[in-house]
Amino acid sequence: MLAAVHLLLALPVFVVVVAVDPAWLRRALADEPGYPLDYLDKIFQIAFALRPMGSSAGRLVDDLLPDTPVPAPRPAPAPPATPAVRPRRAEPVPPPRSTPPRDPGLRPDRLRTREAERAFVKRVLPLLPTPRAVKRLVNTYRLIRASIPVEQTDRFVRLDGTGPYRAVLVLLALVFGTPGSAADLLRAIAAADPGARRLADVVALPDGVVDLVDLCPVADYQRWVGTVARFGFDTTDLVDSDQPDLSA
């Protein structure tokens, strides 16, 4: 990529804007002879660093998880008045079709999130360093959320704002926010004593997550480790064969 940019800049008609993680650039040039920053300085005329997300991260979550109220059912329209006509001779009625109507299987209610879920996503934002990580967490959480049967939603997200959904969001934040240590963290959580009072007492957790993990019992985290592990590149060896039992 850098070589292509260098070639384009040799032509007067090109202006190239490159959006890239500087850590990746330095790592890509680590084995090249010379000093990597000298090479980058030769190619890029102006370097401009974006500010951290800060308070704008909350607006990003609101855009990704809009408040979509359930529409009220429409009343059935009244049947039109039938004018009086002379009775006609009855005609044979064709037999009913044996093929049942197709069910497309669409369940839009499963994609709707509650205010408590959106608020808790904002609480785990300090663990996510980039907008890309925020989008991955939100999109992955919605996939998991869509797998919850409608009749079990109130167990997953209780009406008082508690529930296993908090454990799922914390685990996803660990996978996407600390990918280098996520496998070890999830493995330690899976092996922890389920009777422990606090997860932070039995697992060494990164800064910023200790206050969040205490909001769910250890068993909730262990019940969802295998499911969350399916969405990480380095955590596939922790995948469970069964979906968690929400009735527990």
Confidence of residue 158 (pLDDT cuts 50, 70, 90): very high
Give residue 199's identity as a one-letter amino acid code: L
Q: Can you give the pLDDT at residue 99? A: 60
Task: Report pLDDT digits (tens) over 46-73.
Answer: 878 778 888 788 989 999 998 766 566 6
Confidence of residue 247 (pLDDT cuts 50, 70, 90): very low
* 134 C-beta neighbours (distance < 10 Å), count: 23
The counts of H helices and E strands in the chain are 11, 0
Q: Can you give the pLDDT at residue 225? A: 93
Q: Can you give the pLDDT at residue 70? A: 59
Q: Can you give the pLDDT at residue 248? A: 45
CA 201 to each of CA 16, 169, 175, 230: distance values in angstroms, whole numbers, following the listed order: 51, 20, 20, 26
- Of the ranges 161-175, 179-193, 223-237, which is most confident? 161-175
CA 2 to each of CA 20, 28, 36, 44: distance values in angstroms, whole numbers, following the listed order: 11, 10, 12, 10
The answer to which of 38-42, 114-118, 136-140, 240-244 has the lowest mean pLDDT is: 240-244
Quote the CA–CA distance of 40 and 2 in Å, as a whole number: 9
pTM across the whole model: 0.71
Confidence of residue 159 (pLDDT cuts 50, 70, 90): very high
Quote the CA–CA distance of 80 and 1 in Å, as a whole number: 68
CA 116 to each of CA 11, 30, 156, 161, 248: distance values in angstroms, whole numbers, following the listed order: 54, 45, 12, 5, 21
228 contacts 175 by C-beta, under 8 angstroms: yes
Task: Report pLDDT digits (tens) over 104-156.
Answer: 555 666 678 999 999 999 999 999 988 989 999 999 999 999 999 889 999 99
Task: Report pLDDT digits (tens) over 172-219.
Answer: 999 999 888 999 999 999 999 988 888 888 888 887 788 888 889 999
CA 221 to each of CA 16, 20, 89, 172, 198: distance values in angstroms, whole numbers, following the listed order: 46, 34, 70, 11, 11
Instruction: Show Cβ contacts of residue 63 under 8 Å, excluding neighbours closer than 6 positions.
Output: none
* Higher-scoring residue by pLDDT: 141, 236: 141
pLDDT mean over 163-176: 95
